[in-house]
Chain A
């Protein structure tokens, strides 16, 4: 079974400050990892994904995440927060092929608040 833990259900930063959203996963097989963002009354939008290869992945809107196998982590960062980054962020895990068709296991989400 796979699981995802997002540390901190709420994170608050000032505009221009570093954004760090934490995600740890559990998987018995090499995982595929994702970060999604959800704005109010909208669906989920993919920020970035890790499958294989380079462990530092860059996504949209200046976000990036680093896959650390030894720490089973996939933390999301952005050097400088913008007001438009305020949203809820979800980390998700799946495994390649097999019986995981369409199934992502999500963390509980982290609400990011950005103060002017």
Chain B
């Protein structure tokens, strides 16, 4: 079955703009998580959504937001972009059935802020 799909794969924005990234989870997966990956800070958890509700949130400013739709697809938005927001944004989905909820990651959206 299809994996986690993230769009767009690459994008370039300028400071002050906003950006929306999209994530389609594996069919049947109801949980979607977002991570930011940078050379300096590594992989950092942004937030997690399940059944259209945010259940967990990392330590990021309010400029970072997200949502999940009834079909489990998710979007994240970053407003008032800063140079430091340049990163690979990874989405992961999980079935959230029982036991260890293994995350399956997409290929990521690489954001460059100029």
Contacts and interface: CB of A to CB of B under 8 A. Distances in A.
A110 B33 CA distance: 23
Given A51-B99, A51-B100, A101-B55, A43 B31 contact: no
Interface of B: 4, 31-33, 42-43, 45, 47-48, 50, 55-56, 58, 90, 92, 94, 96, 99-108
Contact of A103 (B42, B45, B96, B108): B45
A114 to B, nearest CB: 22
A61 interface: no
Interface residues of A, number: 26
Main SS of the interface on chain B? strand
A97 to B, nearest CB: 9
Contact of A43 (B56, B99, B107): B107
A16 interface: no
Given A43-B90, A43-B105, A103-B33, A49 B100 contact: yes
A28 interface: no
A45 B56 contact: no
Interface in A87-109: 90, 92, 94, 96, 99-109
A104 B108 CA distance: 17
Contacts of A108: 42
A105 B47 CA distance: 13
A43 B48 contact: no
B69 to A, nearest CB: 17
A103 B106 contact: no
A84 interface: no
Given A44-B105, A101-B33, A101-B50, 20 more contacts: A36-B105, A42-B107, A43-B105, A46-B103, A51-B100, A92-B43, A96-B99, A100-B56, A101-B31, A101-B55, A101-B56, A102-B50, A102-B55, A102-B94, A103-B33, A103-B48, A104-B43, A108-B42, A109-B42, A109-B43
